Structure formats: structure tokens, C-alpha cells
């Protein structure tokens, strides 16, 4: 594991205590199964109609996993390197009696067998923690059976540029779309270092891993709004999220 990922893991282990402190509230939200966004439900409708076996890379608190089950998935295996997150997510899933299993592992390099997934699901603050996007895409492709799907709903890479000014959107003077890294100043904090991947780099990594992009879209809505802030950058004029659906074509 590279030193940045090792340090980030410590920050995530600490930050994931939030999932334990807010256990009851998250359990209620998981029971509702409402965490999947409408656009995710639309894009995944056909895939979820086939009762897919899902692998969720960087599964975090796992709310999307019970939502995926309620939306039609046969099973979900979540993979995350935070023992706190994985333990809390497993406890919630067991309490709800949903078919979700959690595996503690650093990614890329999920310790799951090749071809075990009909759908690899990830995002909502995931790709920025991957030190090597090509290896990430190859790992996702390895997990997929032929003709399986990769789905990403993710913060737009331009998000790190936007100030949180409420009067007007502004570009932060300390940020660049093309920087390789940026220090996280929200969650998990703790000096964690994010990697920045452009939309082009994400698409090229997926294509290089022998997948075909079926859909790519950008959205003005952020997937996450830190409490109490109403930034003008989120008022509908700027990209704040993107989705990508890809299909694996051949045996690898």
C-alpha cells in the first residue's frame, strides 16, 4: 500500500466512527432503502430487473446496499478498507436481514473471485481515493462476468474547484482541475489526500480495461451537501456530479 493510501486509511478509520455514532439513524435509513438517487434507479432499472449479484467497491456505511437489494439485486458484497465501516455495515445488514456481506480489504485488488459480479457499483466519493485509476478499472472488469455492468455515480472532478460562497459561485484560487492531488478539507478530513481524476481519465481507464461506455452524464446537483451550507455553486449552473454506465465485453 502506498504511504498516501496508508495515511488516508487511518483518516477513514477515524471518520467512519460516525457510522457507529449514528448507527440507529443509519439503520432507519437503510430500512427505508431510499438512498439510491432517482437517476441511479433509472439508469440501473434494466440491470436490477435481472436480480444481479452486486459488488459495491468502497461500500462505506452501506446504505446503498440495502437500497440495491430493495430495488432488485439478489445480493451485495461490499468491499472497504475501514474495519469500522465494514463492521457497522455488516451489523446493520444482519439486523435488517438483507443479503449483504462485507469484506475488509484495500482497493484496488478486491479479494473476490473473477467474474463474481453481474454489476459493480461504486462512487459517491470513491474514485478520489484510488491512487491508480487504470488498476481500479481493471479490478472492476476482473470482478465482472462477461456482459456485466460497471456503474459509477460520482462527485464531478470539477467540484474541488468550487468555493462555497453563498452569494455567487467562484473558483478557489488554491485549486486546479489538473492538479494530481488535493488535501481533503471536509470529510474525512484529518489531512487525507485525494487524487484528482478528470472525466477524460475516468472514461479512458474504463475503456482501457476492456469495457464499453454505454452512458455518461453530468449533473448540477451535488450528491452530498455538507450540513448548513447552501453554496451558489450548487444552484444549477455548474457540474457537481456525473454518472457512467459501462459493459464488459470479453473474457479477461
Ligand X SMILES: C[S@@+](CC[C@H](N)C(=O)[O-])C[C@H]1O[C@@H](n2cnc3c(N)ncnc32)[C@H](O)[C@@H]1O
The residues that touch ligand X, with contacts defined as CB under 6 A, are: 5, 8, 12, 58-61, 64, 80-82, 85, 106-107, 123-126, 129
Minimal distance, residue 217 CB to ligand X, in Å: 18
Contact 57, 122 (CB under 8 A): yes
Minimal distance, residue 183 CB to ligand X, in Å: 15
Alpha helices, DSSP H, located in the chain: 3-15, 17-21, 23-32, 38-48, 63-70, 83-96, 133-143, 199-208
* Residue 91 grid coordinates: 451489523
Minimal distance, residue 92 CB to ligand X, in Å: 12
State the Cα–Cα distance between residues 225 and 230, nearest whole angstrom.
8
* Residue 205 grid coordinates: 481507464
DSSP lists the bridge partners of residue 76 as 54, 100
Minimal distance, residue 22 CB to ligand X, in Å: 12
Contact 18, 186 (CB under 8 A): no
Contact 89, 62 (CB under 8 A): yes
* Residue 54 grid coordinates: 452486486
Determine how many CB atoms are found less than 10 A away from the CB of residue 215. 11
DSSP strand pairing (117-123 vs 53-57) = parallel
* 12 vs 151, beta carbon nearer ligand X: 12
* 81 vs 197, beta carbon nearer ligand X: 81
* 158 vs 192, beta carbon nearer ligand X: 192
DSSP codes joined into one string, 56-71: EET-TT-HHHHHHHHT
* 153 vs 162, beta carbon nearer ligand X: 153
Minimal distance, residue 251 CB to ligand X, in Å: 26
* 124 vs 248, beta carbon nearer ligand X: 124
Minimal distance, residue 123 CB to ligand X, in Å: 6
* 105 vs 232, beta carbon nearer ligand X: 105
Amino acid at each position: 500500500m502506498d504511504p498516501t493510501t496508508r495515511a488516508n486509511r487511518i483518516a477513514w478509520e477515524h471518520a467512519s466512527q460516525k457510522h457507529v455514532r449514528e448507527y440507529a439513524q443509519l439503520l432507519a435509513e437503510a430500512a427505508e432503502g431510499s438512498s439510491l438517487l432517482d437517476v441511479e434507479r433509472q439508469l440501473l432499472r434494466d440491470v436490477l430487473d435481472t436480480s444481479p449479484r452486486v459488488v459495491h467497491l468502497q461500500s462505506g456505511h452501506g446504505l446503498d446496499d440495502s437500497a440495491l437489494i430493495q430495488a432488485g439485486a439478489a445480493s451485495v458484497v461490499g468491499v472497504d478498507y475501514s474495519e469500522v465501516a465494514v463492521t457497522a455495515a455488516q451489523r446493520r445488514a444482519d439486523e435488517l436481514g438483507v443479503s449483504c456481506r462485507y469484506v475488509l480489504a484495500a482497493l484496488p485488488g478486491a479479494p473476490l473471485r473473477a467474474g463474481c459480479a453481474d454489476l459493480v457499483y461504486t462512487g459517491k466519493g470513491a474514485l478520489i481515493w484510488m491512487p491508480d485509476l487504470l488498476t481500479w478499472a481493471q479490478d472492476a472488469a476482473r470482478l465482472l462476468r462477461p456482459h456485466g455492468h460497471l456503474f459509477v455515480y460520482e462527485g464531478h472532478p470539477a467540484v474541488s474547484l468550487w468555493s462555497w460562497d453563498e452569494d455567487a459561485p467562484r473558483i478557489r484560487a488554491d485549486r486546479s482541475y489538473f492538479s494530481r492531488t488535493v488535501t481533503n478539507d471536509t470529510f474525512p478530513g484529518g489531512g487525507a489526500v485525494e487524487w484528482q481524476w478528470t472525466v477524460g481519465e475516468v472514461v479512458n481507464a474504463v475503456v482501457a480495461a476492456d469495457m464499453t461506455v454505454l452512458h455518461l452524464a453530468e449533473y448540477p446537483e451535488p450528491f452530498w451537501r455538507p450540513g448548513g451550507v447552501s453554496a451558489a455553486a450548487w444552484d444549477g449552473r455548474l457540474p457537481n456530479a456525473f454518472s457512467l454506465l459501462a459493459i464488459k465485453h470479453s473474457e479477461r
